Structures are given as C-alpha cells and as structure tokens.
C-alpha cells in the first residue's frame, strides 16, 4: 500500500466485545483494504473468544473455574502479558485498579434500578483483591471463590494489537475504533490528523465538548454514563471502587490520550477511581487528558490542543 497512486478511504464496520466497531483504511481499492481489515477483524474475534466472560468456552472462563475452586493454572505468553500489565496498574493505582473486582457484578444490577444491600457487598469484598492472587509467571494461584475480569484492559489492548496488524500488513493511514477506544494506524495521506470528538457525559447527541486532532497514538474514555442507575436523584455508575464495593462519585468522565490505547484506557479508569486526585495524577504522568465532574465542570490539558 505504499508508493504512488491515489488512495481512497474505506470503512469496515463490525461488532466485537459488545460494542460497535470500525476500521478505517486508506487504500487504492476496496480489495486491498478489505484484505487487511479482514485480518484485523478476525483477530478481534479471536481475542473476544479468548477473554470474554460471557463465553463458557473462553480461556477466561477456564481460568475462572480454577479460580472459583482455589486452584492453580498456567497461562500462555499473551495472557501473561495482560496479567503483568494488570499487576502494574494495580500497583500504580494503589490497589484501585483490580481485575479481581468483577465479582461485584453479582451485587450490582444496573438494569434493576435498585441499590444492593451493604451485607452482600461486604461478603463479596472478602473474595476480592489482586494481592490475594499468587502470580508467578506463567502460573496463577487463587484463593477459593475468586474471579478475574479483563474488561478494563482487553478492548484497549485489542485496539493496539489490531492497529499493529494493519501496519504490518502494509497499511500506513487509518485507525481502529473499538467502541470508542481508538488507536491511530497513521495520519491521513496528506499528513493531516484524525479529528476525534469528545462528548459530554450528560448531554448525549449534543455538540462535542472538544475535538482533538490526533496524528498518532491512542485515545480512550471512562465514565459513569455507559451503565448506571439513578436512585433518589443520585447517579450510580458502573466503575466500582474495589475497596468499598461502591461506585465512584466525583468524575463523570475522563478521556486520555497516550502512545498506546491500553495505556490511555487504564489511565482514564484509574483517574475515575482516584476521584478528586485523578487530574493531578494524570498530570504527574504527563498524559494529555480531559475530565468532566458530576457538577458539569470541565478541565484538563486536552482543551484546544493539536496532538502530534
């Protein structure tokens, strides 16, 4: 896909990991673009089949059957890489980013409109904590009744992985969008950036808060708007503090730009979990970001930027 010749933009929508997705590629013809897109989409399906918590035949479900019994299991290199990254996020977040906290879904039903009982949350907290897992690559050892969930990592990892596949297959201009987690393959053929709008978490369908210009890297967002319930006028979002079992309450949404989408995604989630300290923590890492708090205040270093 290099050399002379006009290129056109081709779009390939698909669904993966419970989200609408799209790969955009510049190529000389549909066939050249489609061959690359098909490779990437097949790998998205592979990753979903391995790490979905909704599939009994997934690798994650096999790990969780061992975890529930308090056993041990060896994992492959790709899974070990995800676990090592999760371990780093747990350490850097002071234990707030915790892939064992998916058990809290048993208490929180965001379709019910009802808050869970404190007692049920407390009983689940006894079985949560990455520090309780003995991770000595490639071996995981669990205390009985535990569970892992890669939901905070795998979609962003997939965006990076698919972008790399496209690049290695010859694509130089395009992007991967997995449900709003975006990784740029390369800028437009004229060198221009991709323009990505950031929506207000309380004003769906309204004009974007900010439009960022992205030549490279990844962008991801976390917020309390994807799954939530409102009780007595108070919104409770799906991002749960693994130490209390209750939703975070300060930030409504955080968007982060990083060299990798997986870094942007985990950083935006950790910033949500750190609540009032989130923006200062992001600034200390040097990550470009934008936040909206539950009062509607907006801030961050992404306002009016052109990222290269």
Q: What is the mean pLDDT of residues 42-66?
A: 97
Q: What is the mean pLDDT of residues 266-280?
A: 95
| 121 within 8 A of 245, measured Cβ to Cβ | yes
pLDDT of residue 30: 96
- Scanning 109-202, the segments in alpha helix (DSSP H) are 118-125, 154-168
Q: What is the mean pLDDT of residues 2-29?
A: 88
pLDDT of residue 5: 57
Residue 2 has pLDDT above 60, yes or no: no
Distance CA(255)–CA(257), nearest Å, equals 7
Strand 139-141 and strand 72-74: the pairing is: antiparallel
pLDDT of residue 138: 98
pLDDT of residue 304: 58
pLDDT of residue 98: 98
Q: What is the pLDDT of residues 190-206, one digit of tens each?
A: 999 999 999 888 777 67
Q: What is the mean pLDDT of residues 217-231?
A: 89
Residue 306 has pLDDT above 70, yes or no: no
pLDDT of residue 307: 42
**Percent of the chain scoring above 90 in pLDDT:** 83
Q: What is the pLDDT of residues 167-183, one digit of tens each?
A: 999 999 999 999 999 99
pTM here is 0.93
Domains of the chain: residue spans and CATH = 59-141 (1.10.3980.10), 193-307 (3.10.520.10)
Q: What is the mean pLDDT of residues 284-308?
A: 82
Residue 29 has pLDDT above 90, yes or no: yes
Residue 111 has pLDDT above 90, yes or no: no
Q: What is the pLDDT of residues 130-149, one digit of tens each?
A: 999 999 999 999 999 999 99
Residue 308 has pLDDT above 80, yes or no: no
Residue 13, helix vs strand vs coil: strand
Please give, one letter per residue, the 3-state secondary structure of 62-113. Answer: HHHHHHHHCCEEECCHHHHHHHHHHHHHHHHCCCCCCCCHHHHHHCCCCCCC
Q: What is the pLDDT of residues 148-164, one digit of tens each?
A: 999 889 999 999 999 99
Sign of CA dihedral 98, 103, 104, 109: positive
Residue 15 host element (H or E): strand 8-16
Nearest CA-CA partner of 252 in 219, 278, 224, 289:
224
Average pLDDT of the chain, as a whole number: 93
Measure the N-to-C terminal CA separation of the chain; round to a whole number of Å. Answer: 23
pLDDT of residue 21: 98
Determine phi and psi for 224, rounding to 5 degrees.
-95, 15
Residue 233 has pLDDT above 90, yes or no: no
């Amino acid at each position: 896909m290099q050399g002379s010749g006009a290129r056109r933009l081709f779009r390939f929508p698909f669904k993966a990991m419970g989200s609408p997705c799209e790969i955009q590629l510049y190529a000389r013809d549909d066939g050249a673009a489609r061959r690359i897109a098909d490779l990437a989409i097949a790998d998205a399906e592979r990753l979903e089949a391995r790490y979905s918590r909704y599939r009994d035949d997934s690798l994650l479900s096999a790990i969780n059957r061992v975890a529930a019994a308090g056993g041990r299991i060896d994992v492959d290199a790709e899974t070990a890489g995800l676990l090592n990254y999760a371990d780093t996020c747990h350490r850097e977040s002071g234990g707030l980013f915790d892939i064992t906290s998916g058990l809290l879904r048993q208490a929180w039903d965001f379709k019910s409109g009802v808050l869970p009982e404190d007692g049920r949350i407390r009983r689940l907290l006894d079985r949560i904590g990455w520090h309780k897992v003995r991770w000595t690559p490639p071996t995981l050892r669990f205390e009985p009744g535990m569970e892992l969930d890669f939901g905070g990592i795998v979609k962003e990892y997939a965006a990076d992985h698919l972008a790399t596949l496209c690049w290695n297959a010859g694509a130089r201009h395009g992007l991967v969008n997995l449900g709003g987690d975006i990784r740029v393959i390369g800028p437009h053929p004229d060198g221009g950036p991709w323009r990505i709008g950031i929506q207000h978490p309380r004003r769906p369908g309204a004009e974007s808060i900010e439009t960022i210009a992205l030549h490279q890297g990844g962008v991801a967002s976390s917020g309390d708007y994807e799954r939530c319930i409102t009780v007595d006028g108070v919104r409770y979002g799906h991002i749960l503090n693994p130490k209390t079992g209750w939703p975070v309450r300060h930030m409504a949404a955080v968007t982060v730009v990083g060299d990798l989408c997986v870094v942007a995604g985990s950083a935006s989630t950790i910033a949500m979990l750190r609540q009032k300290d989130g923006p200062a923590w992001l600034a200390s890492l040097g990550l470009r970001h934008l936040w909206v708090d539950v009062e509607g205040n907006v801030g961050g270093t992404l306002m009016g930027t052109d990222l290269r």
